[in-house]
Amino acid sequence: MEAVPPISGIGTGRDDCWIPSACSLCYGTCSILAHRVDGVLVKLEGNPESAAGKGRLCGKGVSGLMTHYDPNRVRVPLRRTNPKKGMGVDPGWKEISWEEALDEVARRLKKLRGEDPRKLFIQRTTTVTSSRTPIQVFAAAFGTPNRSSAGGGLHCGNGAHLISGIMHASWSVVPDFQYCNYAVYFGASKGHSAGHASCSNMGLAAEARARGMKMVVVDPMCNFAAAKATEWVPIRVGTDAALALAMGNVMVNELGIYDAPYLRAKTNAPYLIGPDKLYARDPESGKPLVWDLGAAAPRPYDAVSSEAMALEGEFPVNGVLCRPAFELLKNHLKNFTPEWAERITTIPAADVHRLGSEFAREARVGSTIVIDGVTVPYRPVAAIAFRGSQGHVNSVYNFLAVDLLNQLVGSADMAGGCLGFNPACHGYPETGRPYFVPKAGPDGLMITGIWMAHHNPYPIGEPRMPEQIGLQDLFVLCQTSPFSDSSDREEMWDKLDLPYRPEILLNYGTNSLMSIGNKETVAGALAQFKFVISIDLFLTESSDFADIVLPDCDYLESLDSRPNFPFIFNLPGGLGEWCWPIKQPAIQPDGEQRRSSDILVELADRIGMREDLNAAFNVVLKLEGPFRLEGERKYSYEEVCDAELKNNFGAQHGLEWFKKNGVIKWPKKPEEVYWRHFVDTRVPIYWEFLPVLREKIAALAEPRGIKIPQRYYEPLPDWIPCPAHVTNGAFDLYAFYYRDIIHTNSFTMENPWLDEAARLDPYSYTIAINAGTGRKKGLVDGEEIWVETDAGRRVKGKVHLTEAVHPEGVGIAACAGHWGEGMPIAKGKGVFFNDLLEVDYDHASPVNLNLDLCVKVKVSKARGVGR
């Protein structure tokens, strides 16, 4: 591998060009045009040709220049000379050559692979979407199942992505901004912050707002989405399920408004459920049965036309009385009255009632609309959830209860409703690629057409004694696990007889010491690795535990063929254009930085796993025919990218074409956007597989002393409090964090433009407490306070007394509060919320292992000096 190949144009006369590429300040990855003049990058703008961003960038995107030119970037490979690892312990970095670095890394990895490849644990940052495929491929080729996306994945994804996947065949959900009239956001900021289709959504949401879409934002904090909301509904932290379930109750039981035809045809609502809570199944085929009203008999679900299926009633199946799932759901919802919800959420019962009624009525159940000559159901309401509502022990039910609202009125992936991000694509007209459409799987339930992780959300995997350090092969609904870093990981590994222990960590860009939870716990995990390799832009707090640091090229120096693919992740949803941009370098690195994709390919060669690597590329990129990678041939990453592009778009649309043109695009069809109306598949409003799953997991886990609480594995969503919801004396407030539009995770505080803007912002670096609450506690706006949990964890910061937060809330933005020397601009800015978090099984969802992100705290004045 040579150093970064030269970019044409430099040194060949006047250099003044605009290079189409992709942003990586957050995972939204909007398309950019980078302006280079005489070898200096002088401006970043959106690429108007691209649907990703539509020619515009948020504050983070335009500020990429200051990250690129940050003199604190790592420029040469480093090796520690101090054998002792600890937080704040100087590693004694020594500069080494690439040859030396790669040689040692490859040697160690090769040896490890020979022993047990599973001992390699790979972590990557969610921010750089281009890292996903190289890491996935490398891990597959190496033979390790142990991958994580650190805090970004652990906090954000296990609930949102699992359920969006099962219910919408997509990574996340968004209102159909073009047609939606009434959107209810539960702990989400789509269109008002970063996120999956960042700038595109900002434009779409603004347009919807201008058009008169009513946006109701349920959130403990009134910032960003809530700031622009037609109505801000302040809610007690972590109680979203209570509100959603009560709304569902109002809709179904009081008003009787629900989309019966949709439920019959597109969900498992008509499936007959026995007293054991499981499907009544056809004895021959094993398929779930429905009650055929015409024949007055139970039949397999795919043998009856949906109009004839019963949704309510009690019917005998082989002498056993069974009920349709919908009947159970309907009765179950009766438990959740608005008055009950008021006690849990602090939202007045009248408002709960009103929200449920409004949602139901605005849904216009039964109506249709013609779009581009195609008739689709018209349900202009959307209930959206994201990080906020699912970041709790009750992760699954919180998110599911919200999505249930869409399912009940039939607005899921219909015109104006709650859309997955591009679950269906019929492909580029000339080649028919990429092609993916959801389809029916076991029990008629939906399998996604495409996914991001190696394991589809449905069908549910078979639990087994774990061979992954995150135990995801036991807790099969978990994607990113806390057990790679938790305080009880050793205990869990011992109890479950994990046959090995992780030895080497390959970290790409994460700062897991900050992003996962309290630093002591994570530090303990990091210290135990025998060897840590970190590919980074900066030396972070986590770098204190690295053995070798490899300097990464940033996004303006890197190349990737698929920054916005899979489309379910970060291409704008809804009607418009399909768009496939690439990322290409706009400038050479000014030090010895190398592209991480090239580093991984080089390592693969040195380890001797080229054949496996090529095979993995073929599978992941779905390369066929002449573009398939052959045997052990040493393709460069650029060549692989070229192959993918040609494979998808034809031989004339290879890397060179894309470098000139930036993006390829073609129009979307209503049949793709509103696929659910056209595809015969169902989603579960009754999660029958949950009790089944629990049995299997409990059979393995409980004999070994790990409790699998049944309450969380019931088939219908429920309100279950988090540890924080227990009254606890002086600890009377709920601390939470929220996404800040000016920041991404723990990364952007180092960018001085963004840091400057954040310092001017009233909320960015402060601790937001309700003004009334603060005054009662004798707090003064701007003073330093301690926020402390009953476990003795505490963080300090400046308080901002504001009307814009729930009286019990303590709102802290982003993942700030750096203390390391490697990012001097970031150092000391903002508050390190995660230090309040426990990382263990008790503070995670027992179903999907999402970390519980709300904490019960008390606040007090911080007297004295210094941190």
Partner 1 sequence: MAIASGRYEQLIQDLRAEYRPQREWIERQGLFLIVGHFLSGVAAGTWFFSLLFGFAPGLAAAYVLAAVSGLAHLVFLGRPERFWKMWRARNSWIARGFIGLTLFMLGGLLYLPPLFHPDAPWSGDSWIARSGYAISVAGMVILLLYKGFVYASSKGIPFWTSPILPALYVAYALRGGVATLLLMFAWGGNTVSPERLGPLELWIGLSAAVMVLFYLGVMSGADPVARRSVYELVRGRAAVPFYLGTLVVGLVIPIAFGLAGVTGSLSLATLALVALASVVGDFFIKYTIAKAGIYIPLRPRSPR
Partner 2 sequence: MVIDLKRCIGCYGCQLSCKAEHGTPPGVFFARLLKQEEGHYPTVRQLFLPVLCFHCDEPACVEVCPTGASSKAPDGIVDIDPDECVGCRACMMACPYSQRYFLDEERHYFPGNGATPYEQARSERHPSGVVMKCNFCRHRISVGKEPACVANCPAVARHFGDLDDPTSTVSRLIKERGGYTLHPELGTGPAVYYLPA
* Binding positions for partner 2, rule: CB under 8 A: 37-38, 40-46, 53-59, 61-63, 65-66, 69-72, 191-193, 198-200, 202-203, 205-207, 209-210, 222-224, 226-228, 232, 234, 741-742, 752-754, 756-757, 760-763, 770-772, 802-805, 807, 825
Report the nearest approach of partner 2 to the CB of residue 187 (Å).
17
Report the nearest approach of partner 1 to the CB of residue 631 (Å).
52
Please identify, among the stretches 202-210, 525-533, 588-596, 755-763, the one whose residues bind partner 1 according to the rule CB under 8 A: 755-763
- Binding partner of 763, given partner 2, partner 1, none, CB within 5-8 angstroms per partner class: partner 2
Whether the Cβ atoms of residue 193 and residue 740 lie closer than 8 Å to each other: yes
* Chain centre distance of CA 442: 26
Determine if 760 is a binding residue for partner 1 (CB under 8 A).
yes
- From the list 707, 759, 775, 776, which residue makes contact with partner 1 (rule: CB under 8 A)? 759
Tally Cβ neighbours within 10 Å of residue 115: 10
Residue closer to partner 2 by CB (options 320, 760) is 760
Determine if 59 is a binding residue for partner 1 (CB under 8 A).
no
Q: Where are the alpha helices (DSSP H) in 435-518?
A: 489-495, 512-515
Residue closer to partner 2 by CB (options 421, 451) is 421
Please identify, among the stretches 8-16, 238-246, 408-416, 820-828, the one whose residues bind partner 1 according to the rule CB under 8 A: 820-828
Report the nearest approach of partner 2 to the CB of residue 206 (Å).
4
Whether the Cβ atoms of residue 400 and residue 412 lie closer than 8 Å to each other: no
- Binding partner of 827, given partner 2, partner 1, none, CB within 5-8 angstroms per partner class: partner 1
- Binding partner of 754, given partner 2, partner 1, none, CB within 5-8 angstroms per partner class: partner 2
DSSP string, 158-226: HHHHHHHHHHHSSS-EEE-TTT-SEEEEES--TTSSSSTTHHHHHHHHHHHHHHT-EEEEE-SB-STHH
Determine if 70 is a binding residue for partner 1 (CB under 8 A).
no
Which residue type is seen at 205? A
Report the nearest approach of partner 2 to the CB of residue 25 (Å).
11
- CA dist 56 and 483 (Å) reads 40
Please identify, among the stretches 513-521, 783-791, 819-827, 846-854, the one whose residues bind partner 1 according to the rule CB under 8 A: 819-827
Report the nearest approach of partner 1 to the CB of residue 213 (Å).
21
- CA dist 419 and 397 (Å) reads 19
Number of residues located near partner 1, criterion CB under 8 A: 8
Tally Cβ neighbours within 10 Å of residue 794: 17
Please identify, among the stretches 109-117, 493-501, 526-534, 757-765, the one whose residues bind partner 1 according to the rule CB under 8 A: 757-765
Residue closer to partner 2 by CB (options 56, 610) is 56
Determine if 780 is a binding residue for partner 1 (CB under 8 A).
no
Residue closer to partner 2 by CB (options 191, 817) is 191
Residue closer to partner 1 by CB (options 98, 819) is 819
Determine if 756 is a binding residue for partner 1 (CB under 8 A).
yes
Report the nearest approach of partner 1 to the CB of residue 777 (Å).
23
Report the nearest approach of partner 1 to the CB of residue 798 (Å).
11
Task: Phi first, then psi: give them for residue 625, nearest 5 degrees.
Answer: 55, -135
**Run of H or E residues at 37:** strand 31-37
Report the nearest approach of partner 1 to the CB of residue 766 (Å).
10
- Binding partner of 276, given partner 2, partner 1, none, CB within 5-8 angstroms per partner class: none
Cβ neighbourhood burial of 293 (10 Å; 0-12, 13-18, 19+): middle
- From the list 824, 860, 861, 862, which residue makes contact with partner 1 (rule: CB under 8 A)? 824
* Chain centre distance of CA 812: 20
- Binding partner of 518, given partner 2, partner 1, none, CB within 5-8 angstroms per partner class: none
Tally Cβ neighbours within 10 Å of residue 652: 9
Q: Map residues 615-634 to x or -, x wherever contact with partner 1 holds by CB under 8 A.
A: --------------------
- Binding partner of 771, given partner 2, partner 1, none, CB within 5-8 angstroms per partner class: partner 2
* 693-752 residues near partner 1, rule: CB under 8 A: 752
Q: Where are the alpha helices (DSSP H) in 532-609?
A: 567-570, 596-607
Evaluate the omega torsion of the peptide bond into residue 20 and state whether it is cis, within 30 degrees of 0. Answer: no
Report the nearest approach of partner 2 to the CB of residue 804 (Å).
5
- Binding partner of 759, given partner 2, partner 1, none, CB within 5-8 angstroms per partner class: partner 1
Residue closer to partner 2 by CB (options 207, 695) is 207
- From the list 762, 775, 776, 783, which residue makes contact with partner 1 (rule: CB under 8 A)? 762
- From the list 827, 860, 861, 862, which residue makes contact with partner 1 (rule: CB under 8 A)? 827
Residue closer to partner 1 by CB (options 759, 775) is 759
Residue closer to partner 2 by CB (options 402, 825) is 825
Residue closer to partner 2 by CB (options 252, 826) is 826
Whether the Cβ atoms of residue 539 and residue 818 lie closer than 8 Å to each other: no
Structure tokens belonging to residue 29:
């990855």
Which residue type is seen at 249? N
Residue closer to partner 1 by CB (options 732, 756) is 756
Q: Which residues of 60-84 are buried (b: 16+ CB within 10 A; e: fewer)?
A: bbbbbbbbbebeebbebbbbbeeee
- From the list 260, 263, 799, 825, which residue makes contact with partner 1 (rule: CB under 8 A)? 825
Q: Which residues of 628-647 are buried (b: 16+ CB within 10 A; e: fewer)?
A: ebeeeeebbbbebbbbbbbb
Tally: H helices and E strands in the chain: 26, 33
Q: Where are the alpha helices (DSSP H) in 675-751?
A: 689-701
Which residue type is seen at 594? R
Residue among 423, 560, 537 nearest 825 (CA): 537
Residue closer to partner 2 by CB (options 210, 296) is 210
Size of the chain, expressed as the number of residues it contains: 867
Measured CA angle at 632 (ends 627, 638), to 5 deg: 50
In which residue are the tokens 């490859």 written? 106
> CA dist 4 to 164, 324, 453, 582, 774, Å?
39, 62, 29, 18, 54
SS (H, E, C) 755-775: HHHHHHCCCCCCEEEEHHHHH
Report the nearest approach of partner 2 to the CB of residue 307 (Å).
44
Taking phi over 0 as left and psi of -120 to 50 as alpha, with beta for the rest, 645 belongs to alpha
Report the nearest approach of partner 2 to the CB of residue 61 (Å).
8
Residues with Cβ < 8 Å from 399, sequence gap 6 or more?
159, 160, 163, 385, 389, 390
Report the nearest approach of partner 1 to the CB of residue 760 (Å).
6
Task: Phi first, then psi: give them for residue 440, nearest 5 degrees.
Answer: -80, 140
Report the nearest approach of partner 2 to the CB of residue 14 (Å).
14
Q: Using the 8-state DSSP alphabet, how is residue 675 labeled?
A: G
Report the nearest approach of partner 1 to the CB of residue 542 (Å).
20
Footprint on this chain of partner 1 (rule: CB under 8 A): 752, 756, 759-760, 762, 824-825, 827
